[in-house]
Structure 1
Amino acid sequence: MKNDRCSDLLGYLFGKNQFRKALTGLPADEIDVVYQKIIKDILAQINGILYFGGHELRVLGKTFVISKIGEQVVVEAPKIKNIDRQYVTSIAERALKNVDDKNFDSAITQSRTLLEEVFCYMIEKKNQSPSESGDVNKLYSQVRQLYGIHQDAQTDKRINDLINGINKIISSVAEMRNKDSDAHGVGAKRIEIKDYHARLYVNTSVSLAEFMLALMGDDESIF
């Protein structure tokens, strides 16, 4: 198996969802700590076996790499896919199907990932490197700086209100993903969401993604 396919497989097997039973019931602020310890312990056991063959398994960012012990490994950041309205529509259709199937967590994760990919795409189009944190708020902050999305006294009040609304939407998307998506175990602060909440979340994220792509296509800032 090629290293990149191996990384995909290990990324799935080591995903937080695979340890949901072990993480369920923990306080929200302890989930990531416990999860990282579990992964660290598993890697240590695997490397104990690989040691006698002169190899080791390492995690570089989000990539799993099997290499010779001590070998320097450089992982090239993959170029983000081309993102257009057709891509946004395809994600929207899958997310709304998940809503219809009552898979609200997956729908929320897909919507949040859509915005993250759109922001990364916009940043790369300006020949800049996206934040590696995967933090939607930080990525949007980069987009705001690169595309001149800002509020000031010289800008029409209606535009300022629009920007303020976008800021709140981004914060809500990031917050909902942290507390309610399937990317995290069930913590103390997790709340139940309804069909209409998930549908609003998906449609809002899709509308915002399309707006951002339209802004990017304008080349110059419209604000």
Structure 2
Amino acid sequence: MATNETNPYKLLKTKEIIAILDGDTQYQEYKFEDGTTVPVAMPYLSGPDLCGVSTLFGLPMSYSWGKGAANLSRWQYLDNLMEHCMDKNRMSDLLAYLFGKEQFANRLSGHGVDEIEIAYAHITAEIIQKINGLLYFGGNELTVMGNNFIVRAIGSKVEVQAPQIKSIDREYIKSISNRAMQDVEQQNFDSAITKSRTLLEETFCYVIEKKGETPSDSGDMMKLYRQVRELYNMHTDGNTDRRINTLLSGLNSIVSAISEMRNKDSDAHGVGANRIAIDEHHARLFVNSAMTMADFILSVAIKNNAI
């Protein structure tokens, strides 16, 4: 069990970050297609709410009502809960609960399913980006890998079991691409690039698993792509038509570019000196390229009777 002094989640126990997590801090508003808006913020957690969450995670707390009631501040409730979860190695579970879609139900209800999915993805990505802006100067970041919320040194490698992808089809690819394009239209290029990279990674993992193999480290997209090429015999050689070889070479470039842009321009690392500015037409190109690549890989798997 990690001690508080060595537990990287300790970095989240600042008043600024706790104010984000308990819903005190709000950023710009998110606008739905019908013109209604909601704040880009975590759901507001009242004192009774925090006592309920604490009890849920094995730290029984009660909230007293009436004049003279001796309650802790909301900041203290969450600070104590985070300390408890670190001691029990459950900080990732706590963050997954706080960021869970169901926690945003009251704020996002009343809209269509696709709109809710897009809004939820946008809001949570923005919040994590703001947290990473606070962690950045210490050289750290909060990143999400599957269902795991991890605090790590920026760019460091964390071994997490590759998620099992239940099903990917053309509708799924179209849905993720639409969400990414929505980010582009809202000038949120970082989030769009992240979604593009995630779509390719998920597609690679899916077709690898369909061959009965275990995906390579999901943090290295080029390694995943090489595994796909090996399993599905997607090689350039002298016996293959020149035009096909040219196409496959172009696909290599697409994957490499998206993988590199994910490291330099995505919303995972906050704002740093190594980030480069991109324009809307570049972001659109990334989204469309990822969608095309994912659809092609899915077609290759279908042709090989893997799906």
Residue number in structure 1 paired with 2:133:
20
Local SS of the residue matching 2:217: coil
Q: How does 1:188-207 map to 2 (within 5 A)?
A: 188-207=273-292
Match of 2:293 in 1: 208
**In the TM superposition, what whole-angstrom CA distance separates every residue of 1:61-112 from its partner, at most 9, and x where no partner exists?**
97469xxxxxxxxx98652120000000101111111111111111110011
Counterpart CA distance in 1 for 2:198 and 2:285 is 16
Greater CA drift, 207-216 or 130-139: 130-139
The letter of the residue matching 2:170 is R
Q: Give CA-to-partner distance per residue, 1:174-211, whole Å, 9 cap, x none.
A: 01111111012222221111111101110111011111
Of Structure 1 and Structure 2, the greater helix share is in 1
Number of paired residues?
Answer: 183
For structure 2, the 5+ residue unaligned runs are 1-55, 58-89, 100-123, 151-159
1:35 to 110, 122, 140: 140
Match of 1:80 in 2: 165
Q: How high is the TM-score relative to the length of structure 2?
A: 0.53
- SS at 1:130 equivalent: coil
Inter-CA distance 164–86: structure 2 relative to 1 (3 Å threshold): same
- Which TM-score applies when normalising by structure 1? 0.71
Residues 198, 148 of structure 1: alpha-carbon distance in 2 compared, 3 angstrom cutoff: same
Matched with 1:71 is none
Aligned residues: percent identity?
Answer: 49
Gaps (5+ residues) in structure 1?
40-59, 66-74
Contact 1:91 1:114 in 2 (8 A): yes
Q: For residue 147 of structure 1, what is the amino acid of its counterpart?
A: Y
C-alpha contact 1:95 1:108 (8 A) present in aligned 2:
yes
Which residue is equivalent to 2:225? 140
Tell whether 2:287 aligns with 1:182. Answer: no
In 2, Cα distance between equivalents of 1:213 and 1:106: 23
Counterpart secondary structure, 1:151: coil
